[in-house]
């Protein structure tokens, strides 16, 4: 979106320093990736974005939104608080974007469904979409403000860490189509209960116009609450044969690419995806329902699914030069997504052992001990051979796996986990990497694939007990 600095200042009640008539062509908060001609927004986070303003300008930023004089040779807008200003700017700019907005929320599957929806729309429309997982009070405004001026459809991902946040972001986006993928045990420490999670996701559907469309995944216990929240027409989606868009005959090939069939009010179709994992079949069906609701032909939407590629660190399947298959699903984790990842690991066509390198599932509150132990048990029940739990808070995963018959160990950090896999995995083995974002387990995948520096093993470990005290031969 092209805006003048004067327009940014007017929308944010900011003060212009420099030439207010100059134009910026987008917005960003990362000085390393800021696009040439965009406006850099200096955000106060774990690090102060003001310290990186000069870097952003050197990278090509044409303007700055900041809380104090940046002392640079480009125009700036000074505001009391940049995050609030970004939201105000997006709200002001929304009527300037002549595009249908599809907004997607849910406990799991938001990013994959966003990627699939953008692909399903891509055969019929000029589409803009959230990059990566831009789904919070920063990401949603940045998604809208960085959309192309000629975008006909904007696909936006909406997350939440508390009641009212989905509604707040929906008021910025003003979607015509709202999608709720599923409701499950994610961030329950913050919400207090799964019911509160469901009611928060329902906020998106409550904001839809009467001539809009709600698309609701129904393979969970809270679908009735969601369906009842919408005054717009509702399309239900899921494995349930009574769903408006029903998914059947799901299979995956040896590379985890799913094949399945969907039956819809517009006809039936066989579908094959490049995005990995059997669970992506329902996400793809949600995407088709959203795309048709936004105006795409059913046939175009189905064909477009084949163009979808997953976002980084989500079910990436790659083989190392020495024959180990790595499934990098390290972006985030909750009980449902970990279960899906473990099922994908066991579906891989490999001749060797299956390793699950798993870390903490964050923000589960009082449910955390039981959920972590259940993950370990589930891994063993599915036939995972080796479980490496990373971090003290993940110890119960190792204990659950050990109790259920799998070899398991708990290690201190990602470096130690990578060292174990490098030392003991063999050609033909498969390694899943999965944890909440803070664990940083993508480094394990990168190291095993040879993209990162080999770690140094700091202590002797074995996979025969959860205390990781004994040593001994592995295979």
Domain 316-448, second-level architecture: Alpha-Beta Complex (3.90)
Any idea where the domains of the chain sit in the sequence? 3-81, 97-305, 316-448
Buried b (16+ CB within 10 A) or exposed e, 166-189: bbebbebbbbbbbbbbbbbbbbbe
CATH number, span 3-81: 3.40.1390.10
Q: pLDDT tens digits for the chain (475 residues)?
A: 999 999 999 999 999 999 999 999 999 999 999 999 999 999 988 889 999 999 999 999 999 999 999 999 999 999 999 999 999 999 999 999 999 999 999 988 899 999 999 999 999 999 999 887 788 999 999 999 999 999 999 999 998 877 899 999 999 999 999 999 999 765 555 666 888 889 999 999 999 999 999 999 999 999 999 999 999 999 999 999 999 999 999 998 888 899 999 999 999 999 999 998 888 999 999 999 999 999 999 999 999 999 998 777 778 888 898 899 999 988 878 888 899 899 999 988 899 999 999 988 877 778 888 999 999 999 999 999 999 999 888 899 999 999 998 899 999 999 999 999 999 999 999 999 998 777 778 888 889 988 654 554 443 433 333 333 322 323 3
Note the pTM of the prediction, 2 decimals: 0.81
259 strand-pairing partners: 251, 272
CB atoms within 10 A of CB 318: 14
The residues near 72 (Cβ < 8 Å, ≥ 6 apart) are 53, 54, 57, 64
For residue 357, the model assigns a pLDDT of 94
What CATH homologous superfamily does 97-305 map to? Mur-like, catalytic domain (3.40.1190.10)
């Amino acid at each position: 979106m092209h805006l003048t600095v004067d327009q940014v200042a007017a929308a944010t009640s900011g003060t212009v320093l420099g030439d207010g008539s100059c134009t910026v062509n987008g917005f960003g908060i990362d000085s390393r990736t800021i696009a040439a001609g965009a406006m850099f927004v200096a955000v106060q986070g774990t690090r102060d974005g003001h310290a990186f303003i000069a870097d952003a300008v050197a990278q090509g930023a044409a303007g700055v939104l900041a809380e104090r004089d940046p002392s640079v040779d480009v125009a700036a807008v000074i505001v009391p608080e940049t995050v609030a200003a970004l939201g105000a700017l997006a709200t002001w700019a929304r009527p300037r974007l002549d595009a249908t907005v599809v907004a997607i929320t849910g406990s799991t599957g938001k990013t994959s469904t966003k990627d699939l929806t953008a692909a399903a729309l891509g055969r019929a429309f000029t589409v803009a979409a959230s990059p990566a997982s831009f789904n919070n009070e920063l990401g949603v405004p940045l998604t809208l403000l960085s959309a192309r001026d000629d975008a006909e459809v904007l696909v936006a991902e909406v997350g939440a860490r508390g009641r009212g946040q989905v509604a707040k972001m929906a008021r910025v986006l003003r979607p015509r189509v709202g999608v709720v993928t599923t409701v499950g045990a994610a961030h329950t420490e913050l919400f207090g209960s799964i019911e509160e999670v469901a009611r928060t996701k329902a906020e998106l559907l409550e904001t839809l116009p009467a001539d809009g469309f709600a698309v609701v995944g129904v393979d969970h216990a809270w679908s009735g609450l969601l369906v009842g929240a919408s005054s717009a027409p509702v399309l239900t989606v899921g494995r349930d044969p009574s769903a408006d868009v029903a998914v059947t005959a799901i299979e995956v090939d040896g590379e985890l690419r799913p094949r399945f069939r969907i039956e819809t009010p517009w006809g039936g179709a066989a579908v094959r995806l490049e995005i990995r994992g059997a669970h992506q079949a329902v996400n793809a069906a949600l995407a088709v329902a959203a795309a048709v609701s936004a105006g795409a032909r059913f046939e175009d939407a189905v064909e477009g699914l084949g163009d979808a590629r997953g976002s980084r660190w989500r079910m990436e399947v790659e083989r190392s030069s020495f024959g180990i298959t790595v499934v990098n699903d390290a972006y985030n984790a909750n009980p449902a997504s970990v279960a899906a990842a473990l099922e994908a690991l066991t579906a891989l066509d490999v001749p060797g052992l299956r390793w699950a390198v798993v870390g903490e599932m964050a923000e589960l509150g009082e449910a955390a001990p039981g959920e972590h132990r259940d993950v370990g048990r589930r891994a063993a029940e599915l036939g995972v051979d080796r479980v490496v739990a990373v971090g003290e808070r993940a110890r119960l995963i190792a204990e659950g796996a050990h109790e259920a018959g799998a070899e398991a160990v708990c290690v201190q950090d990602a470096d130690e986990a990578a060292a174990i896999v490098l030392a003991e995995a063999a050609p033909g083995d498969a390694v899943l990497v999965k944890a909440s974002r803070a664990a940083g387990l993508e480094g394990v995948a990168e190291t095993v694939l040879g993209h990162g520096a080999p770690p140094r093993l700091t202590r002797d470990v074995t996979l025969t007990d959860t205390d990781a005290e004994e040593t001994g031969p592995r295979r």
